[in-house]
A and B are shown apart, each in its own frame.
Chain A
Amino acid sequence: MSRLIAVTLLALLLSSPAYAYLDPGTGSMLVQGLLAALAVASAAVAAFWTRIRQLFSGRRKPADPENRDAPPS
């Protein structure tokens, strides 16, 4: 897994960059898409951990941890 990441990073760093104009925001939008996916994944991991902890402590918390990050509506 770490080798795969290393190879990916190297590929990203070594291939030559593009000068052609595409869409001013494509790269930025894709990076933020990755961050959004990361946020969802980390929330899932956090929820998973909370469940495990609850399982061992034998108590249930009233707050739903998955909604912690929800923006106020």
Chain B
Amino acid sequence: MAGSYRDRRGYVFAAGDRILRAVSPAAAGVQRELLASPVFARLVSSGQLIGTWVAPDEASALGIEGAALLLEHERVPFVSYPYEWPFAALRAAALLQLDLHLALLEHGFSLADASAYNIQFRGPEPVFIDVLSVERYVPGAYWNGHRQFCDQFLSPLLLTARLGVPYNAAYRGRIEGISSTELVPLLRLRDKIRPQTFLHLVLPARLEAAARRGRVDARPPAARRPLPKPALVRLLAGLRRWIERLHPPSRQTDWTAYARDNTYQEAERSAKRELVARAVRAAAPRAVLDLGCNTGDYAAVALEAGAGHVVGAEADPETAHLAFVRAQQEKLRFLPTVQDAANPSPSQGWRDAERASFAERARFDFLVALAVEHHLAIGRNIPLDELVRWMVGLAPQGVVEFVQKTDSTVRRMLALREDIFADYTEENFRQLLAANARIVESRVVSGEGRVIFLYDRRP
């Protein structure tokens, strides 16, 4: 499977609907020990570690050579990447990484790396998926994943928390996170001299620079002064306490405050809610995509109406953060992701195949696209015919909302620019939709004439 080539002790592959992992003879012993350990059962039942068992198959029957152990994993509902996670999600993933490391250390295990790509989400709950990262703890050993943890969790979080810059675009471009040598020069002096920032980012960046000039050098593992286990535990626990308190620098970090301030047009909302609930109940979808999910009002409606899980796509990182916090607080099986529909996640990494594009991962049964079409058609100049075809392609059934050109939102969008959207009419939208799917129902849901279409493109 893409991205699993780095660790030579095994690899992951899909066989039909199943996710299997071949483990090399070198790592099989530790893996068997882990599976038999009480900490493994505890971490799986608490949802922190992905369900893992020894596959009933013979490795040779699947054409696998050299594997000493074949493991099978539970599937996650949707694969997402750290550059798509809102702040609260990356923070939750960082805390899971540290909690898992601390729990494993108590039982004589450790983690070989600290890659954010080893974590996936079930709703807003992070789960660690790479059991091959678990290794035996060697007394006195250093934390090899420290640098990776800083690049893939800490620095991106600080970029947002200290400087107010969303990390998602930089993270997507870099793929391996944001290095401390890049972040440190951006930090202000008052941030640099905070003890934790100094210890984890400033000092390593400086020492690395000194090592490059040949002034100092790290010793090979055998020649190192051993790091006592309590010192390692303190290091991890200190990071945990720190990261838990990091927040984006916004006044509105609580979605409830946001919801309270946006309660206008209640009648319109309840009409929309009723329609979405009815459509979702009829379709009984397993996977729903909420395009332009905002803080997740309709995701919550879809879940209440029986949807299996909802993935949200929201262009604004701060709004996605609020949606994520809401999903955590209300325990919704809803994962809001930062995704710009006009520039969705590409396939990238080694041979363009390491991280799958959004389109490759978009396997949804139902689409909710409310109050979003005009942001793309008018805000981003996406031709209406392409937009309708793309949206209908995201899921076989769904609800899409059309916003009239006379709507106050669209009028505001066009206030400072020329209206080049002659074909932007409800009639044209209806025709384009009918060309791509069957229109099951259409209904005016607002005083300004917004229309919701319920479509079905199944034969």
Interface residues as binary, A16-58 with B (CB distance below 8 Å gives 1, 0 otherwise) = 1111101111111111111111111001000000000000000
Question: Does chain A have a CB within 8 A of B351?
Answer: no
Question: Does chain A have a CB within 8 A of B204?
Answer: yes
Contact B229 A28 (CB under 8 A): no
Interface residues contributed by chain B, number (CB under 8 Å): 45
Contact B207 A36 (CB under 8 A): no
Q: Which residues of A contact B147 (CB under 8 A)?
A: 24-25, 27-28
Question: Does chain A have a CB within 8 A of B34?
Answer: no
Which listed residue (A23, A28, A30) contacts B216, Cβ 8 A?
A: A30
Which listed residue (A31, A38, A43) contacts B207, Cβ 8 A?
A: A31
User: Which partner residue on chain B sits nearest A9 by CB separation?
Assistant: B193
Contact A25 B224 (CB under 8 A): no
Which listed residue (B140, B144, B189) contacts A25, Cβ 8 A?
A: B144
Contact B206 A15 (CB under 8 A): yes
Contact B181 A39 (CB under 8 A): no
Question: Does chain B have a CB within 8 A of A13?
Answer: yes
Q: Which residues of A contact B181 (CB under 8 A)?
A: 17-19
Q: Which residues of B contact A23 (CB under 8 A)?
A: 211, 218
Q: Which residues of B contact A38 (CB under 8 A)?
A: 231
State in angstroms the CA–CA spacing of A25 and B217 once bound together: 11
State in angstroms the CA–CA spacing of A36 and B288 once bound together: 50
Contact A33 B225 (CB under 8 A): yes
Which listed residue (B137, B208, B227) contacts A32, Cβ 8 A?
A: B227
Contact B142 A29 (CB under 8 A): yes
Question: Does chain A have a CB within 8 A of B437?
Answer: no
State in angstroms the CA–CA spacing of A12 and B204 once bound together: 10
If A32-B142, A32-B227, A36-B224 touch, whether A26 touches B202 (CB-CB below 8 Å) is no
State in angstroms the CA–CA spacing of A43 and B212 once bound together: 32
A13 to chain B, nearest CB (A): 6
B145 to chain A, nearest CB (A): 9
Contact A18 B218 (CB under 8 A): no
A14 to chain B, nearest CB (A): 9
Q: Which residues of A contact B224 (CB under 8 A)?
A: 29, 33, 36
Which listed residue (B108, B185, B205) contacts A27, Cβ 8 A?
A: B205
A68 to chain B, nearest CB (A): 8
If A18-B181, A32-B227 touch, whether A25 touches B146 (CB-CB below 8 Å) is yes
Interface residues as binary, B218-251 with A (CB distance below 8 Å gives 1, 0 otherwise) = 1100001111111100010000000000000000
Question: Does chain B have a CB within 8 A of A71?
Answer: yes
Contact B205 A17 (CB under 8 A): yes
Q: Which residues of A contact B202 (CB under 8 A)?
A: 12-13
Question: Does chain B have a CB within 8 A of A69?
Answer: yes
State in angstroms the CA–CA spacing of A30 and B220 once bound together: 11
B56 to chain A, nearest CB (A): 36
Question: Does chain B have a CB within 8 A of A73?
Answer: yes
B176-202 interface (Cβ within 8 A of A)? 180-182, 184-185, 189, 192-193, 199-200, 202
Q: Which residues of B contact A70 (CB under 8 A)?
A: 139, 228
Which listed residue (B211, B227, B228, B229) contacts A30, Cβ 8 A?
A: B211
Contact B212 A18 (CB under 8 A): yes
Q: Which residues of B contact A28 (CB under 8 A)?
A: 142-143, 146-147, 150, 204
Contact A69 B230 (CB under 8 A): yes
User: Which partner residue on chain B sits nearest A12 by CB separation?
Assistant: B206
State in angstroms the CA–CA spacing of A40 and B193 once bound together: 25
If A17-B181, A30-B204, A31-B204 touch, whether A36 touches B209 (CB-CB below 8 Å) is no
Contact A27 B207 (CB under 8 A): yes
Q: Which residues of A contact B140 (CB under 8 A)?
A: 71
A35 to chain B, nearest CB (A): 6
State in angstroms the CA–CA spacing of A43 and B209 once bound together: 30
User: Which partner residue on chain B sits nearest A11 by CB separation?
Assistant: B206
Which listed residue (B192, B199, B208) contacts A18, Cβ 8 A?
A: B208
Contact B235 A17 (CB under 8 A): no
Q: Which residues of A contact B235 (CB under 8 A)?
A: 32, 35
Which listed residue (B192, B212, B228) contacts A36, Cβ 8 A?
A: B228
Which listed residue (B189, B204, B218, B228) contacts A71, Cβ 8 A?
A: B228
State in angstroms the CA–CA spacing of A13 and B185 once bound together: 9
Q: Which residues of B contact A32 (CB under 8 A)?
A: 142-143, 146, 227, 235
Interface residues as binary, B414-442 with A (CB distance below 8 Å gives 1, 0 otherwise) = 00000000000000000000000000000
Contact A33 B218 (CB under 8 A): yes
Contact B228 A13 (CB under 8 A): no
User: Which partner residue on chain B sits nearest A29 by CB separation?
Assistant: B218
